[in-house]
Amino acid sequence: MVFRTSPSLAQGLLEAAPDGIIIVDAKGIIALVNAQTEKLFGYAREELMGQPIEILIPQTFKHQHVNNRDNYIAAPQIRPMGIGRELSGMRKDGSLIPVEISLSPLETDTGRMVVSIVRDATEHLRIEREMKDLNTQLKQNMQELLVSNSELESFCYSVSHDLRAPLRSLDGFSLALIEDYQEVLDDTGQDYLRRIRASSQHMSQLIDGLLKLSRITRAELHKEYLDITAIARKSLDSLAKPGIAVRMETSIIPRMKAHADRDLMTLVFDNLLSNAIKFSAKNANPTIEVGVQTIDGETVFYVRDNGAGFDMNFADKLFGAFQRLHSANEFEGTGIGLAIVQRVINRHGGRLWAEGQVGFGATFYFTLPP
């Protein structure tokens, strides 16, 4: 299909254009307007033809516009008008309308003319203002977050000093009493002191756990393309102590990959695997599996053991900080491990859940969005 520039086609194009088209001569007199111009400015074209272009310019800018026009006609270029300024046109009823204007020269046999394309910028302006507001809000939120973060930093710093000092005194003087005043203290007395020591050491572990947890929230995430199999393997190797490794059967699906932070994922596997080892240690044939499967089109990683398991009725308590589903007599621990895993997975935008059966083992599933 070939377009011929017949007058009727040219006219059709002009009238069909979605923006206002105004052609003025070298003296700024309107020579031609299209239908959209009439619509934008509220004039019938007969009212505009032969008029100076300034009829469409707001009062305050009329004078300056004449100068601008003269400058332009002397050295015309195709360019947007008034770059960086908010321009307004004036409608017939005197109301102002925000516009975007672009100009280009037109050489005709009657002389040099200027074509201007006028676009209604109302919507554009509204969107711009909305974006500016959102940006300001975002900057404010960022600022508040930075402040709160730095407050958290100093809080953690104080905790690591201030809370540990009294604990050391508790532990130290209890031991000093046991050692230096043996003859004066009977067995019960020494037992009481041993319990005091154990408590202060336990509290120290709790503080360490809390600090670890808060560090994960504060730490910067450096995501990279990771070999998950290698990370799980390395974690398992460092955890498995000589005696247990021999009895324990482990399987890790090869070539698993994910987009995640290396240190934090190491932490995830350290915690999940140390739990798996711990809770299946009493088993005759402990088995630990690390793998990946697709559930509903989603990639899901899992760590599975055949150990003590847990009661599914209490599944929602699993991931709370210091929450435990077993007594300290059965299995030692502070209950912070899973809270740490939860927080890491959360920071990656993933989900963590578990399934278990008392006496048959547990499986911990998690997702890592790409």
Partner 1 sequence: MDQKNIILLVEDNPDDELLTLRAFRKNNVANEIIVTRDGQEALDFLYAQHAYADRDKSLTPILILLDLKLPKLGGLEVLRHIRSVEETRRIPVVILTTSDEDQDLVKSYDLGANSFVRKPVDFSEFMESVKLISLYWVMVNQPPRR
Helix (H, G, I), strand (E, B), or coil: what is residue 336? coil
175 vs 315, beta carbon nearer partner 1:
175
Candidate list 60, 104, 201, 357; residue touching partner 1; CB under 8 A: 201
Residue 14 lies near partner 1 (rule: CB under 8 A): no
Scanning 15-23, 134-142, 158-166, 303-311 for contacts with partner 1 by CB under 8 A, the matching segment is 158-166
Neighbouring CB atoms inside 10 A of 305's CB total 28
Residue 169 lies near partner 1 (rule: CB under 8 A): yes
Select from 343, 104, 81, 356 the least CA-distant residue to 214.
343
Least distance from C-beta 330 to partner 1, angstroms? 24
Residue 261 lies near partner 1 (rule: CB under 8 A): no
Candidate list 27, 168, 247, 282; residue touching partner 1; CB under 8 A: 168
Q: Please, are residues 329 and 368 in contact by the beta-carbon 8 Å criterion?
A: no
Burial level of 183, CB count in 10 A (0-12/13-18/19+)?
exposed
Residues 107-146: x where in contact with partner 1 by CB under 8 A, - otherwise, as a string: ----------------------------------------
Scanning 1-9, 32-40, 61-69, 168-176 for contacts with partner 1 by CB under 8 A, the matching segment is 168-176
Q: Distance between CA atoms of 341 and 318, rounded to whole angstroms?
A: 11
Residue 161 lies near partner 1 (rule: CB under 8 A): yes
Concatenate the DSSP letters of all residues of 126-193 into one string: HHHHHHHHHHHHHHHHHHHHHHHHHHHHHHHHHHHHHTHHHHHHHHHHHHHHHHHTTTTS-HHHHHHH
Q: Distance between CA atoms of 119 and 99, rounded to whole angstroms?
A: 5
Size of the site for partner 1 (CB under 8 A): 19
- Tell me the residue type at 9: L
Residue 165 lies near partner 1 (rule: CB under 8 A): yes
Query: Which residues form the interface with partner 1 (CB under 8 A)?
Result: 157, 160-161, 164-169, 171-176, 197, 200-201, 204
